[in-house]
């Protein structure tokens, strides 16, 4: 067994490479799965000794579901209410690893002004040196939340009386971080 303290990445500040990262969501709707993503995302991972913190945001106005009118509906008070709550935020200071690339992050997720404790799980890669002279890691995380806990309650009943849209929404973050050149 390795006696070294496990950390998610070498010490320093790791900035999101937003071009090569995504935050998607999936939710059961009607007879299938509805998917969308946020075009504008930001995140930073800070590692200091055996402590690490992760902070990520998405710009709700950048939600993208490939259809203008549906996008407008998702931005409206019926769903995310972008006018009043322009940002989704996740902050965490409790990051644990199992030594095999598996990671669990316990933090606070804020959607529509409501903050809840959530645990997101996934994998982290070992650092690589990329062709541009920077160190890079990949962090893939996901969690499933009940959207009604965050005040997103829209639904439309099927003729059977069952809801057409599920409450459980899976959020998937596929993130690449590059190490900041500055001393942390």
Partner 1 sequence: MTRILGISGSLRRDSHNTSLLRAAAEAAGPNGELELYDGLKEIPPFDEDDDVHPRPPSVARLNEAIKSADAVLFSTPEYNSSIPGQLKNAIDWVSRPVATNVLRNKPVAVVGASTGGFGAVWAQAELRKVLAALGARVLDIELPVPHAHTRFENGGLTDDEIRARLEETIESLADEAREREEQKAAV
Q: Which of residues 108-167 bind partner 1 (CB under 8 A)?
A: 154
Q: Token digits for 86?
A: 């322009």
Q: Token digits for 129?
A: 């040196």
Contact pattern from residue 12 through residue 51 relative to partner 1, giving x for each residue in contact according to CB under 8 A and a dash for the rest: ----------------------------------------
Task: Choose the stretch contacting partner 1; rule: CB under 8 A; options: 19-27, 37-45, 77-85, 168-176.
Answer: 77-85
Does 78 participate in binding partner 1 (rule CB under 8 A)?
yes
Total Cβ atoms within 10 A of residue 37: 17
Does 181 participate in binding partner 1 (rule CB under 8 A)?
no
Contact 70, 79 (CB under 8 A): no
Among 68, 98, 100, 182, binds partner 1 (CB under 8 A): 68
What is the rounded CA–CA span in Å between residue 65 and residue 173?
Answer: 16
Does 57 participate in binding partner 1 (rule CB under 8 A)?
no
Task: Choose the stretch contacting partner 1; rule: CB under 8 A; options: 30-38, 68-76, 131-139, 176-184.
Answer: 68-76
Among 72, 114, 128, 129, binds partner 1 (CB under 8 A): 72
Closest by CA position to 112, among listed 72, 92, 83, 91: 83
Closest by CA position to 79, among listed 92, 95, 65: 65
């Amino acid at each position: 067994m390795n006696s070294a303290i496990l950390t998610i990445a070498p010490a320093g500040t790791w900035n999101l490479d937003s071009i090569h990262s995504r935050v998607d969501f999936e939710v059961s709707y009607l007879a299938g799965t509805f998917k969308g993503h946020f075009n504008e995302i930001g995140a930073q991972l800070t590692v200091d000794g055996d402590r690490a913190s992760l902070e990520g945001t998405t710009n709700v106005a950048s939600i993208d579901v490939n259809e203008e009118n549906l996008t407008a509906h998702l931005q409206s008070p019926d769903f995310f209410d972008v006018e009043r709550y322009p940002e989704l935020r996740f902050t965490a200071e409790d990051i644990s690893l199992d030594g095999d690339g598996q990671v669990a992050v316990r933090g606070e997720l804020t959607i529509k002004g409501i903050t809840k404790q959530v645990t997101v799980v996934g994998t982290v890669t070992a650092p690589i040196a990329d062709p541009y002279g920077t160190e890079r890691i990949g962090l893939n995380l996901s969690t499933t939340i009940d959207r009604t806990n965050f005040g997103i309650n829209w639904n439309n009943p099927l003729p059977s009386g069952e809801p057409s849209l599920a409450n459980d929404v899976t959020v998937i973050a596929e993130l690449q971080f590059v190490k900041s050149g500055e001393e942390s």
